[in-house]
Amino acid sequence: MLDFRNLNSVAVGEAMVELAPVGEGQYRRGFAGDTFNTAWHMAQAMTGRASASFVTRVGTDRISDAFVTELKADGLNVSFISRDPVRGMGLYMIHLDGVERSFHYWRDTSAARGLAADAGALAQAFAGAGLIHLSGITLAILPAADRQTLFAALAQARADGARVSFDPNNRPRLWSSLDEVRQVIPQVLALTDIALPSHDDEAAVWGDADPLATIARLAAAGVAEVAVKDGAGPVAVFSNGVIQTLATPAVAGVVDTTGAGDGFNAGYLSARLLGQTPEMAVRAGQQFSGKVIQHFGARMPKGAVPPLA
pLDDT tens, position by position, 213-247? 999 999 999 999 999 999 999 999 999 999 999 99
Mean pLDDT, range 114-137, rounded to an integer: 98
pLDDT digit string (tens) for 145-183? 999 999 999 999 999 999 999 999 999 999 999 999 999
What pLDDT score was predicted for residue 139? 98
The verdict on whether 160 is a catalytic residue reads: no
Are 63 and 16 contacting, i.e. CB atoms less than 8 angstroms apart? Answer: no
Q: Taking the chain, what is the end-to-end CA distance rounded to the nearest angstrom?
A: 19
- Of residues 292, 279, 299, the one with CA closest to residue 251: 292
216: left (phi over 0), alpha (psi -120 to 50) or beta: alpha
Residue 99: the pLDDT is: 72
User: Domain spans of the chain?
Assistant: 9-301
Q: Do 56 and 115 form a contact (C-beta atoms < 8 A)?
A: yes
Quick: pLDDT tens for 72-88: 999 999 999 999 999 99
Compute φ and ψ for 104, nearest 5 degrees: -120, 125
Mean pLDDT on 137-151: 98
> What integer pLDDT is reported at residue 307 of this predicted model?
87
Q: Which of 167, 208, 256, 262 is catalytic?
A: 262
Average pLDDT, whole number, for the chain? 96
Q: What is the pLDDT of residues 172-218, one digit of tens each?
A: 999 999 999 999 999 999 999 999 999 999 999 999 999 999 999 99
pLDDT at 101 over 80: no
Q: Spell out the residues 6+ positions from residue 214 whose beta carbon is closer than 8 angstroms to its own.
A: 197, 199, 202, 203, 206, 208, 226, 228, 236
Rounded CA-CA distance 182/163 in Å is 23
Q: What is the pLDDT of residue 234?
A: 98
User: pLDDT, tens digit, for every residue of 24-54?
Assistant: 888 999 999 999 999 999 999 998 899 999 9
pLDDT value, residue 103: 84
Residue 100 has pLDDT above 80, yes or no: no
Q: Specify the CATH number for 9-301; select among 3.40.1190.20, 3.40.50.300, 3.20.10.10, 3.40.50.10490.
A: 3.40.1190.20
Average pLDDT (255-262) is: 93
pTM: 0.96
